[in-house]
Structure 1
Amino acid sequence: MDFDTGSRLKEEREKLRLSQRQLATATGVTSGMISMIEQNRTSPSVATLKKILAGLGISLGDFFAGGGDGGTKWHFRHDELREITPAAKLGEAGGGVVFRQVGRPGASAVQMLYETYASGADTGAELYSHDAEEAGIVISGRVLVTVGAETQLLTAGDGYLFNSRTPHRFHNPGPDDCVIVSACTPPTF
């Protein structure tokens, strides 16, 4: 997927008539970092992008969504799942993380994701949080899930359910890819 994170971020910032410095002050992310992201000179971590988007009042799903597809469609083939992966997670050393969402962002009170973690991939070194609850089931592979100060290794068939306001992180220790089907409500990721 070819997604221009920098242009999209600049477009959203300018819609609110914020300078890079104003956005930096509101989010705790340096104006230099925001500038580099907007110029596509660096890719933000999930945690950093979430901080910036929180300052803009939009979710990751809405940020990565294309135009609305309308209607009341209730079924989605695998190739119709909308990729909402931050650019920083694609092609990192050790693999990548890919998030695909069922349905159109903002069209439902629940956000359903098909998550793939390559061997060694994770959601970033920093724990992140958002205003929701999330649950998931590991379909294949294994994943280290950190919620607060506790880390558990989950394998195929294992699940999780936690308040997403608690800082958390996902890491695939390998050796195989890991697939998770998860849900978040309200949709904030």
Structure 2
Amino acid sequence: MANEEQPDRQRDDRRQQDDEELADVLTAVGPRLRALRLQRGSTLAQLAEATGISLSTLSRLESGQRRPTLELLLPLAKAHRVALDELVGAPETGDPRIRPRPFVRHGCTYVPLSRNFGGVHAFKQILPPLDRPPLDPELQVHEGYEWLYVLSGQVRLLLGEHDLVLGAGEAAEFDTRTPHAFFNAGPQPAEFLSLFGPQGERIHVRARPTTPPKQESGAE
């Protein structure tokens, strides 16, 4: 009986350790945001205007009274001109505890960017240009949510009945139980950040449809 309980206890200990490490990372974001803003000589009002985030939210983020989310961190990383992993204080690449080991799957290069804090997986993905668009793309379905943020190039996202193209600086979030796939939509390699997790807060989709949306009969 004791042997049966030991794996559960070890799993709970690992989960608690991950939660504590995640809390430490998020706690450090506020002071880092304030230091970056002061380093650039910006006021909260100027940063609010540049990011579209309210002044009160920025103040609460810097003081640690507001939990940072991806929707808030993306525009802040862009405004401060730093990488997202730098903003959240990810250890340096040379740290052997999280040494990135790129791998290739289905023609896409994946560069791990996290140690799976809280069960969230973070990657930088690189899609090579295609000779021709796929005629019958295979759509994936699985549990969870996925976030994409395009760094360069163009990414074509097939999501259910939607066919979207995202350019540099555009983001998308979706429930991965919806059939989906993505491809390079341009002549150059496409690079994007991808975060996948079983739960989390959403960011808004802002992309250009490649075809007009279909009108469904009987829709209200």
- Which of structures 1 and 2 has the larger relative contact order (alpha carbons within 8 angstroms, sep 6+)? 1
Greater helix fraction, Structure 1 or Structure 2? 2
TM-score (norm 1): 0.50
TM-score (norm 2): 0.44
Larger radius of gyration: 2
